[in-house]
Structure 1
Amino acid sequence: MSVDALKPLDQVLTPDSRWTQGYNLTLEEHHAGIAEFELHTQVPEEVRQHFENARNTWLYAFFEYRLLSVSLLMLLVSCEAALKFRAKQEKRFKKNDGFQKLMNTAISERWLLDAHFSATLKIQAWRWERDRETAIDMDQPDPGPWKPSEDAQTIARWAAWFFPKLRNEAAHGGTFLHPNASRHFRVVSELINQLFPPT
């Protein structure tokens, strides 16, 4: 693996070629893609600041591609900060509770439900409609339109398993790059927004 050294001063604002060649992405498109992930105003300021740190680092990755790994770490920090804040609000936080324990608490307390994760809903709706069309084509009764389950926690449990592992890898010297950061930002932003529902 080659090292991406400190850029010369006269190249600081030169787009990293891995964006412009690999993805043919402009700075305007990059910014617009990041701007779509937001936290609502009920989310505490300290949590929102961690999330903004992640978004800004992702933005500047346009000029230094490897900042993506820093952005992802900051995103997971915002997730843990949100979980800790909510656990303290609910008097469910203990001094040594780490990311994994906080995620498990969010699952058991049902602070996180699949009905509030857009990616899950889209996949489930697509599968339902596909199976519905098949049933109709086979002259079987129409099962009707898809209705999301209010109780499911499939993606919530996946996040509870995956995000602490990913954060630990990043925090302990992992050198991963996830070029499609939008998937992680979508899940984390929707997770945090669930923790602090609008009143």
Structure 2
Amino acid sequence: MSAERESRSGLGPSSAGSADNAEPADGLRNLHELSLPDVRMRYVSVRVGPMVRPLEQSDRYEAIADLRLVDRVPEQVQVHYDTARNLYLYAWHVYRFHVVAEHQALASLEMALRLALGQRGIVDGEGAFVDPSTQGSKKRSSRPAGLSQLMSMAARLGIITNDGLTRRAQWAQRLAEERLSIEHIQFMERNDLDRMDLPDTPAIPTAEELALDWLQQFVEGLPRLRNEYAHGSQMLHANVLRTIQIVCDLINQIWSDDKVNAGSG
């Protein structure tokens, strides 16, 4: 079964919506409406094989329940991340919780990286990179590192790698489907068509799509998205599941068996 599809191919700030087009549902809910779906969820559909039907909350639950952290991840990170998962579920009732869930997930990744690098003695208790010349003193080496610096350091040390990403084939398949969709649109435009029968053939990822440096994209894109939220944003969209997927994959990689053993050695 396929849940709602991710329409953004990049990871930078999106202009999918803003407070300028607020809905009446964005105000405080009436008590008797708390359990009802947000009206905007009525317009989201899901494709199951050749059929398209309205999205249901059970579809969303199935998708988010699958994005679990491994047991080795510290409890404080688990709780922080599961708050993002719960926000995603409750966005069924409050549409604007989607972006709150995405922000929470990115903050969970930052927490996980800071904790993992702290366990390796690379950052101090406040998240600042350790300067060997200041060890044993009360002088701080620098300001707390942000998500961009933490991700770059983790990638440099091999704590997160492309090979450790478990959904690379799935993401490459998505790129291929987006490419094929664009090709269909361009064919229609060139031939002045207003409709066409799509061939029943799957999109095949190219060698370039399969070999894409996903980690570098994440190192560059996720901090930009995190900063957009951190400084106050009018961004509004529901396509946050892919970001939560990425965060789940990276956090699980940080606490995979080989990374944990390397960090404690």
* TM-score (norm. length: structure 2): 0.62
Q: What letter matches 2:154 in structure 1?
A: A
After superposition, the CA RMSD in angstroms is 2.3
Unaligned 5+ runs, structure 1: 133-147
The CA deviation at 1:119 is 3.5
Post-superposition offset of 1:97: 1.5
Paired position in structure 1 for 2:230: 171
Query: Which residue identity does 2:92 align to in structure 1?
Result: F
Query: Equivalent residues in 2 for 1:117-128 (5 A)?
Result: 117-122=165-170, 123=172
Could you tell me which of 68, 86, 107 is aligned with 1:77? 107
The question of whether the paired residues in 2 share the 8 Å contact of 1:114 and 1:121 is answered with no
- Of residues 31, 36, 41, the one that matches 1:9 is 31
Query: Which amino acid is the alignment partner of residue 228 of structure 2?
Result: E
Alpha-carbon distance change, 156 to 16 in structure 1, aligned in 2, over 3 angstroms: same
Work out the percentage of aligned pairs sharing the same amino acid: 29
- Which structure: larger Rg? 2
Task: Pick the aligned partner of 1:41 from 52, 71, 82.
Answer: 71
CA change 1:102–1:59 in 2 (3 A) is same
1:22-53 Cα distance to aligned partner (Å, 9 max, x none): 33221212211111111000111111111001
User: Residues 99 and 130 (structure 1 numbering): CA distance in 2 closer, same or farther, change over 3 Å?
Assistant: closer
Of Structure 1 and Structure 2, the greater helix share is in: 1
TM-score by length of 1: 0.82
Instruction: Specify which of 8, 19, 22 is matched with residue 44 of structure 2.
Output: 22
* Contact 2:99/2:240, CA 8 A, preserved across alignment: no
* Structure 2 gap segments, 5+ residues each: 1-19, 46-53, 129-143, 177-203, 259-265
Matched-pair contact (CA < 8 Å) for 1:53–1:74: yes
Amino acid of the structure 2 residue aligned with 1:177: L
Give the match for residue 101 of structure 1: 149
Q: Give me the whole-angstrom Cα distance separating, in 2, the residues matched to 1:165 and 1:158.
A: 11
CA distance in 2, matches of 1:157, 1:63: 35
Q: Deviations over 1:51-95 (max 9, x none)?
A: 001000011000011110110110001000010011001111142
How far apart in 2 are the matches of 1:181 and 1:131?
26
Q: Cα deviation per residue 1:134-189 (whole Å; 9 max; x = unaligned)?
A: xxxxxxxxxxxxxx88xx8x211111111111111011111213422221111110
1:186 aligns with 2:245: yes
Secondary structure at the aligned position of 1:114 is classed as: coil
CA change 1:189–1:131 in 2 (3 A) is closer
- Per the alignment, residue 58 of structure 1 pairs with 88
**Which amino acid is 1:184 matched to?**
T
> In the TM superposition, what is the alpha-carbon distance from 1:196 to its structure 2 partner?
0.6
Distance (Å, rounded) in 1 between the aligned partners of 2:77 and 2:157: 20
2:120 to 57, 71, 90: 90
